[in-house]
Amino acid sequence: MSMKDAYEAKLQARLDEWNAEIDRLKAKADEAQADAQIAYNKQIDQLREQQKDAQAKLEELQRTSETAWEDLKAGMESAWDSLENAVRTATSRFG
């Protein structure tokens, strides 16, 4: 497995974990009182947007060549860190 393939697999696994965590947060939001539900759903909508951005970055990485993928790595790390922090914050707030 090449370094690029290993990196893609690592990112996909992390994205899958965050997807599951967002789904758990959505289930909690669905059970919450009306006022709390509004706050939960707003946060979840923001997480879903960041999730879409991260997925798009991963797809962009998958389309790059073996030699060019390292150029995208910094942008990938930034998007991933942002999503990870947002999921962590939402989980601690609503968890």
Identify whether the C-beta of residue 58 lies closer than 8 Å to the C-beta of residue 12. Answer: yes
Q: Which residues contact 6 (CB under 8 A, 6 or more apart)?
A: none
Q: For residue range 38-79, what is the model confidence (pLDDT) as tens digits?
A: 888 898 999 999 999 889 988 988 888 887 778 878 778 888
pLDDT exceeds cutoff 90 at 13:
yes
Q: Give burial (CB, 10 Å; 0-12/13-18/19+) of 31.
A: exposed
